[in-house]
A and B are shown apart, each in its own frame.
Chain A
Amino acid sequence: MTKFDEQTAQKLFDKNLITENQFKEIKAYRALHIFSLNTELKLFLYLSVLLFTSGIGILIYENIDTIGHIAILSLLLIVIAVCFYYCFKNSKGFQKSETSFEHPVLEYLVLAGNILTCIFIGYLQFQYKPFGEHYGLATLVPTIISFFCAYYFDNKSVLTIGVTGLAAYVGLSVAPQDLLNNNDFYASQNLSYSAVMLGVLLILWTIYSNRISLKTHFNLIFLTFALHIISIAAISNLTNYDTMTWIIFAVIMASSIYYFYKASYDNKSMSLYVFMIVYGYIGANMFLFRIFENVDFSAIWELFFFLLPAYFIGSIVLFIKLIKKFNKEITE
């Protein structure tokens, strides 16, 4: 590729689009032949944390009756203590804005320490039941620890663990794979309402943290979770038999789409915008379907087949316009 890179910079220079100084600087930089392993090595660190914690998790699960409980617990505690010792020692303390460690390894130590803490508490609860029958509390404690670590050490991965923990406390599973093939919402109406409540809560939290400018770069994660939770809960309830219920959720859907339309512009986030459109499109189609479901189309169903391509062309044109508008606004 280097061959063409040189040429392109040269062409830009020839067309007078970059200045001579800039061109020289670019040339000098390329002459260093930098081959950065930054991403690869970080990926290795990350994989190592995943492997290690999964290994420990399975190890405990399989040998839950054979190795001494105290031995396992104290071993875990030592590893956790070591992880957090290094993290606290090298951290710059709590800051309201975005921070990072001097050394990239520490970021992954926080993650490892946090996951191990969750395992530790889970194991403790399983074996000694310090929280008794209050299973909710056993979920809430690791959640609080996760949020503390996420905010103190500024770690997004840990933050997502915290959010899933919060949802688990409400009774939801919001891990991405569960959101995609969920059946929970069909099972109980209350769960859908609590999902919407959780989503609203997350949104309110982002508004509040914006106001006091507390870790505003976390907002995108909260909003992403909120969008998916609310939209999926609303969509699965749009098929509800009860007319009242599906109309309520259609209203919820419409207002959440409106909010996220605004929010994606404010946050300049393409992913939020795209998912908002996708959910909006699905929701709108289901809404149309629900309205027409009692009308008898049997006489003109062939016409329907010819209208369909036109309908899709219409939606494609609409989406192209929407995306273009968004792109134009966020680059300004």
Chain B
Amino acid sequence: MIVYNKKMLDNEVLRDEADVLYKGGFISKEQKKFIEKELSVLKSQNNILVRIGFFLLGCLLFLSICGAISVFGLQTEERAYLQICCYLFAVVGFIGAELLSAKNYHNHGLDDAFILGALLNLGIAIAISTEGYEAVIAFFVALGALFMFLRYLHLPSMLVFCLAATAFLFFGMFEFGDIGKAILPFTAMLFAGIFYFLTKKRISDIKENYYYNGLLLANSFCLVLFYLSCNYLVVRELSMELLGTEVKPGTDIPFAFFFYVFTFVVPVVYLVQALKTKDRIMLWISFLAIGFSIYTIRFYYSVLPIEVALTLGGVVLFAIAYFSIKKLKEKESGLTFKPDRINHTDNFLNAEALIVASTFGMKPEVKTVSPMEFGGGGFSGGGSSESF
């Protein structure tokens, strides 16, 4: 099923490992260079900026090919052409992906453009044919995305597959009318839970690592879906949207207590579990989940005014970080504050300066708009910007 040469895929893993070991200071630069010369690999882009650049170029190329086809098509039989044009474009995307993979492009940006373009056009094509029947669209997009993942080992396709499969579940439940909509949170929760353990089992069973990253992505997706499925905010807003029920003051949605407990227990469980099993992805999901839970509460109850909440939140977070660092600073193994020689990423630390510039950068004087409107990072720096 995999279109790429397996030897090259193996080499890619070895090369990445050599890179990691070099950065960790285990092997010398000459050794790393020698390894890179010995092992031939696929053409891929590790730099995310370059990959995005090639993705955009690929999109332009894809669009221009579609445009050229349309010039032909519209001149011959306009109505019929409009019916089938998106199928044609999807085929163009597929052919492009096939050609690029034959030339050993993998995770390069160009192939991303063609694969995702094919999936998008497949969805639009089926939407045109079925006149917007959501469940069918979701089903075929999921099928297409799964195929793309299995054949080209394309991770974004796996994400599309997860989203489309979830959408299929949702729209499928809508078919059952109001009962389906009412039990939707529980169905989604069950679905996410079952698939979490299935993918986890599969990960521990696989012998070869080609599909490892995709399974890991699906596994993490299940964690996120599980949390969101019974989050109080999501359930309440969705039930208002779908069932049209209105929550009057003094009343609450059915099973409100359960959803409240769920909203707060699940992130904590994730956090504890992540620290116990040393699972970094789960750790990050738990951070985000805790953040979203706080947002959930603030969405309905203004416990504190926003400025006090921000200031106090800052102080509390600072205290947590400070004492954790103090506790972990001297530890040499297990849970520690010392940078890991192997899995150390400081991408975020590089982005830090950029975020500071965008939230606290100073603006020139004479501004008609109040600088305070920029949400959380309100203060816009040096002085005279406040002179209105």
B53 and A278 within 8 A (CB): yes
Interface members, chain A 154-182 (any B CB < 8 Å): 156-161, 163-165, 167-178
Q: Does more than half of chain B's interface fall in helix, strand or loop, or is it mixed?
A: helix
Contacts of A29 in B (CB 8 A): 24, 26, 341-342
Contacts of A59 in B (CB 8 A): 307-308, 311
Given contacts A143-B362, A302-B71, contact A309 B61 (CB under 8 A): yes
Interface members, chain B 267-293 (any A CB < 8 Å): 275, 278, 280, 283-284, 287
Query: Given A105, A160, A315, which contacts B361 in the complex, CB threshold below 8 Å?
Result: A160
B383 and A125 within 8 A (CB): yes
Complex CA distance for A302 and B71, rounded to whole angstroms = 7
Interface size class of B (residues with CB under 8 A): 35 or more
With most chain A CB atoms within 10 A of its CB, the pick from B65, B341, B383 is B383
* Interface size, chain A (Cβ < 8 Å): 106
Contacts of B383 in A (CB 8 A): 118, 121-122, 125-126, 131, 135, 138-139, 141-142
Q: Interface readout for A37-60 with B: 1 if CB under 8 Å, 0 if not?
A: 111111111111111111111110
B337 and A160 within 8 A (CB): no
Complex CA distance for A52 and B312, rounded to whole angstroms = 7
Contacts of B132 in A (CB 8 A): none
Whether B352 sits at the interface, judged by CB under 8 Å, is yes
Contacts of B339 in A (CB 8 A): 36, 38
Complex CA distance for A119 and B377, rounded to whole angstroms = 13
Complex CA distance for A51 and B317, rounded to whole angstroms = 9
For the complex formed, measure the closest distance between the CB of A93 and the CB atoms of chain B, giving whole angstroms.
23
Whether B241 sits at the interface, judged by CB under 8 Å, is no
B386 and A118 within 8 A (CB): no
A156 and B315 within 8 A (CB): no
B386 and A122 within 8 A (CB): yes
For the complex formed, measure the closest distance between the CB of A122 and the CB atoms of chain B, giving whole angstroms.
4
For the complex formed, measure the closest distance between the CB of B364 and the CB atoms of chain A, giving whole angstroms.
5
Whether B186 sits at the interface, judged by CB under 8 Å, is no
Contacts of A62 in B (CB 8 A): 307
Whether B368 sits at the interface, judged by CB under 8 Å, is no
Q: Interface readout for A230-256 with B: 1 if CB under 8 Å, 0 if not?
A: 000000000000000000000000000
Whether B302 sits at the interface, judged by CB under 8 Å, is no
Complex CA distance for A175 and B371, rounded to whole angstroms = 13
Query: Given A42, A270, A331, which contacts B47 in the complex, CB threshold below 8 Å?
Result: A270
For the complex formed, measure the closest distance between the CB of A162 and the CB atoms of chain B, giving whole angstroms.
9
Contacts of A42 in B (CB 8 A): 321, 348-349
Contacts of B245 in A (CB 8 A): none
For the complex formed, measure the closest distance between the CB of B268 and the CB atoms of chain A, giving whole angstroms.
16
Whether B258 sits at the interface, judged by CB under 8 Å, is no
Contacts of A309 in B (CB 8 A): 61, 64-65, 68
Complex CA distance for A26 and B25, rounded to whole angstroms = 10
B318 and A52 within 8 A (CB): yes
Query: Given A54, A161, A167, A312, which contacts B378 in the complex, CB threshold below 8 Å?
Result: A54
Interface members, chain B 345-367 (any A CB < 8 Å): 345-346, 348-349, 352-365
For the complex formed, measure the closest distance between the CB of B64 and the CB atoms of chain A, giving whole angstroms.
4
Query: Given A54, A57, A160, which contacts B353 in the complex, CB threshold below 8 Å?
Result: A160
A139 and B49 within 8 A (CB): no
B318 and A48 within 8 A (CB): yes
Whether B131 sits at the interface, judged by CB under 8 Å, is no
B362 and A274 within 8 A (CB): no
Whether A12 sits at the interface, judged by CB under 8 Å, is yes
With most chain B CB atoms within 10 A of its CB, the pick from A47, A121, A177 is A47
B307 and A55 within 8 A (CB): yes
Whether B387 sits at the interface, judged by CB under 8 Å, is yes
Contacts of B385 in A (CB 8 A): 122, 168
Complex CA distance for A168 and B322, rounded to whole angstroms = 34
Contacts of B384 in A (CB 8 A): 122, 125, 135-136, 138-139
Whether A292 sits at the interface, judged by CB under 8 Å, is no
Complex CA distance for A40 and B339, rounded to whole angstroms = 11
Complex CA distance for A37 and B63, rounded to whole angstroms = 44
With most chain A CB atoms within 10 A of its CB, the pick from B275, B372, B382, B387 is B382
Whether A18 sits at the interface, judged by CB under 8 Å, is yes
A58 and B307 within 8 A (CB): yes
A57 and B362 within 8 A (CB): no
A173 and B363 within 8 A (CB): yes
For the complex formed, measure the closest distance between the CB of A205 and the CB atoms of chain B, giving whole angstroms.
17
B212 and A4 within 8 A (CB): yes
For the complex formed, measure the closest distance between the CB of B287 and the CB atoms of chain A, giving whole angstroms.
8
Contacts of A143 in B (CB 8 A): 362, 382
A52 and B64 within 8 A (CB): no
Smallest Cβ-Cβ distance to B321: which chain A residue: A44
9 contacts between A and B (CB under 8 A): A38-B340, A55-B313, A61-B372, A115-B379, A138-B382, A160-B356, A164-B363, A274-B49, A312-B60
What 6 A-B pairs come out closest when comparing CB atoms?
A: A52-B314, A57-B379, A55-B310, A55-B311, A164-B361, A51-B314
Given contacts A55-B309, A62-B307, 5 further A-B contacts (CB under 8 A): A33-B334, A53-B360, A157-B353, A168-B363, A275-B49
